[in-house]
A and B are shown apart, each in its own frame.
Chain A
Amino acid sequence: MAERRLILLAAALAAACAIFLTWGARGNWDFVLAFRGAKLAALLVVAASIAVSTVLFQTIAGNRILTPSIMGFDALFVLFQTVLVFALGGFGVAQLSQEWRFGMEFVLLLGSAVLLFGTLLGSARYDIHRTVLTGIIFGVLFNSLTVFMQRMIDPNDFAVVQMNSFARFNSVETSLLGVSSVLCCAGLVAAWRFRHRLDVIALGRDHAISLGIDHRRAVLTILMIVALLVSVSTALAGPVTFFGLLVSALAHLSMKTYRHAVLLPAAALIAGIVLVAGQTVTERILALSTPLSVAVEFLGGLVFLILILKGTQR
């Protein structure tokens, strides 16, 4: 049953991709396909990274309203991008190769994510609202610090970081595509190998331990995968607060299962459909008049409110 729905989703995604590649194309097909293909690949990598990282994070947090971006992960990544420019100067950063720069940002994010959110997640079991609120406030803090740093750096260096501060699906960084798709695939494979253990972890810490899971180690490993995927998506497309929440909620709603072997691919497929179809609509029908990221934030925020309000009614 769930498998058939997955096949339907995959078919829908394939159709969306085909439409994205061919609709309204004129002129040289080699150029069109290469240009749109790179963009499509980037969108798919972003979609898969956000969806899988969100589902993983929600499972280890044991809560459906927590997502890495709500807890300030991507804001932290953008902050590190800015700090790097601040420390090395725009020239120094420009001299680093894309891969090196990305690697440094990733290592910084990994370290602080494990430190900060490892401790926060421990307390999430006791007081979920305080944890979420803390995450949101951290997000505000990281954002303000980013703006602060951007004002402190040389105006010439500013151009290097300016473009990173908000989500952009129209102009994803295709130059990073190679390295990030490799990293994304690695993250996805790692997450897939964890799928059965994730089912057990979803039962809660105590059950997981009595069923023979090294809970602490598993959570740390998953947190690392999450950090990797968040780095990939933020480096490619910038921060998006509520997109992960939106697709994970849709995946839970449409699959009605707790098996991660179904949930993970479903979330990734739904994210791909939303991003590719949404981008097609904004590019071809709305002629880029409305940024997709804003529409996604609006819808995702509403889903968040509904989830919270529904959760309290029970």
Chain B
Amino acid sequence: MKIAAGAALLALAAASLFVGVIEIGPAALFGDPEALRVMAVSRLPRTLAALLTGASTAVAGVIMQMIARNRFVEPMTTGTGQSAALGILLVTLFMPAAPLVVQMTVASLTALAGSTLFLLIVRRLPVTQPLLVPLVGLVYGAVIGAGVTFVAYQADLLQYIGVWMNGEFSGVLLGRYELLWVSGATALVAYLVADQFSIAGLGRDVSVSLGLNYGLLVAAGLFMLSVIIAFNVVTVGMIPFVGLVVPNIASRLIGDNLRSTLPWIATAGGGLVLACDIIGRIVRHPYEIPVGTIFGVVGAVIFLWLLYARKPAHG
């Protein structure tokens, strides 16, 4: 199964390298310097960007599901993504000359604030109503989104909003996607504490009696997912539902032990986003359809299926 998944991912990546406006065949790589340049400057960065975004967003989704103890939440549409957009918008407004480090710090901090507030709201909801959490989350995200649009409209920055609110990879070039490696690295750090997150998913009481510093872990989780989402939103924009559908499908197929499932989740997230990006490049060739739109359709359908399909009996 591992080999099959690896082969599928490699095949997708290879397909992604050879799909685009300029026709490049595998043969051209040997001997045509122009083709090599297109590969190095555009195709390879784009493929890597899709993989990194998908993998890290899916991991951020799992983290949020574990600390919110709800299967149907994901940070991108429940306030974290919108808060990150708000942060970067405020920086653009008030400190347009700020260095990149400052911009990203502010975006991460607002994302952290947004997700913390969401978690506080979730804590007040009754556990007996699990579907209330995603419902509140989506509206919470929409309210922050309206706030972002409001500020952007005031400042005449609506075009920027379009870039952050709908994810797409067409702007990805060498030198303009490297921030995504930070998300990738953060997702890797999350893997190191995967066991602790699995326990946190069992709830506060169980975690504490198993000797876990629950508060610290929740704070760390919030921090990690905020960093991942902030960097992804600022670099490529929002892609809805990735963090939701991928972990849910993984959980149905192979269970909830994050130590063993997290690599699968990351792989599937990267592969799915890359596949949607390739579809977006093909259907309207030579134009492109943003990956956020494609995933909005695909993800919504999978989400509905998850809502209504009967859970398989865990054996």
Most buried by A among B72, B131, B146, B287: B146
- Chain A: minimal CB distance from B36 (Å): 31
Q: Which residues of B are found within 8 Å of A289, using beta-carbon distances?
A: 153-154
Give the interface segment out of A191-199, A206-214, A217-225, A295-303: A295-303
Q: Which residues of B are found within 8 Å of A4, using beta-carbon distances?
A: none
Q: Is the CB of A137 within 8 A of B307?
A: yes
Q: Is the CB of B283 within 8 A of A294?
A: no
Q: Given B135, B153, B240, B303, which contacts A308 in the complex, CB threshold below 8 Å?
A: B135
Q: Is the CB of A140 within 8 A of B240?
A: yes
Question: Quick check: is A216 within 8 A (CB to CB) of the other chain?
Answer: no
Q: How far is the CA of A302 from the CA of B121 in the complex (A)?
A: 13
Q: How far is the CA of A305 from the CA of B142 in the complex (A)?
A: 11
Question: Quick check: is B258 within 8 A (CB to CB) of the other chain?
Answer: no
Q: Is the CB of B294 within 8 A of A148?
A: yes
Give the interface segment out of A101-109, A128-136, A252-260: A128-136
Query: Quick one: which of B70-116 are within 8 Å of A by CB?
Result: 72
Decide if the interface of chain A is mainly helix, strand, loop or mixed: helix
Q: Which residues of B are found within 8 Å of A312, using beta-carbon distances?
A: 124-126, 129, 132
Q: Which residues of A are found within 8 Å of B303, using beta-carbon distances?
A: 137
Query: Quick one: which of B125-144 are within 8 Å of A by CB?
Result: 125-126, 129, 131-132, 134-136, 138-140, 142-143
Question: Quick check: is A58 within 8 A (CB to CB) of the other chain?
Answer: no
Question: Quick check: is A62 within 8 A (CB to CB) of the other chain?
Answer: no
Q: Is the CB of A134 within 8 A of B153?
A: no
What number of A-B contacts does a CB cutoff of 8 Å give? 100
Q: How far is the CA of A311 from the CA of B142 in the complex (A)?
A: 20
Q: Is the CB of A302 within 8 A of B149?
A: no
Q: How far is the CA of A227 from the CA of B47 in the complex (A)?
A: 44
Chain B residue with minimal CB distance to A70? B139
The interface on chain B, measured as residues whose beta carbon lies within 8 A of the other chain's beta carbons, has a size of 39
Q: How far is the CA of A290 from the CA of B290 in the complex (A)?
A: 28
Question: Quick check: is A145 within 8 A (CB to CB) of the other chain?
Answer: yes
Query: Quick one: which of A116-171 are within 8 Å of B by CB?
Result: 127, 129-130, 132-134, 136-138, 140-141, 143-145, 147-148, 151-152
- With A133-B134, A140-B300, A152-B284 known to touch, is A290 a contact of B129 (CB < 8 Å)? no
Question: Quick check: is B215 within 8 A (CB to CB) of the other chain?
Answer: no
Q: Is the CB of B124 within 8 A of A148?
A: no
Question: Quick check: is A67 within 8 A (CB to CB) of the other chain?
Answer: no
Question: Quick check: is A89 within 8 A (CB to CB) of the other chain?
Answer: no
Q: Which residues of B are found within 8 Å of A301, using beta-carbon distances?
A: 139, 142-143, 146
Known contacts A147-B166, A151-B289, A241-B142, then 19 further A-B pairs from the complex at CB < 8 Å, ordered by chain A residue: A129-B129, A129-B135, A133-B131, A133-B135, A136-B135, A138-B304, A141-B296, A141-B300, A141-B304, A147-B296, A151-B287, A152-B284, A289-B154, A290-B154, A294-B150, A302-B143, A308-B132, A308-B136, A309-B125
20 contacts between A and B (CB under 8 A): A127-B131, A129-B132, A133-B131, A133-B307, A136-B138, A137-B300, A137-B303, A138-B300, A140-B300, A141-B297, A144-B293, A144-B296, A148-B289, A151-B293, A289-B153, A290-B150, A294-B149, A298-B143, A305-B121, A308-B135
Interface residues of chain B, those whose CB is within 8 Å of chain A, are 72, 121, 124-126, 129, 131-132, 134-136, 138-140, 142-143, 146-147, 149-150, 153-154, 166, 240, 283-284, 287, 289-290, 293-294, 296-297, 300-301, 303-304, 307-308
**Ordered nearest first, which 6 A-B pairs have the shortest CB separation?**
A144-B296, A129-B131, A141-B300, A301-B143, A298-B146, A297-B146
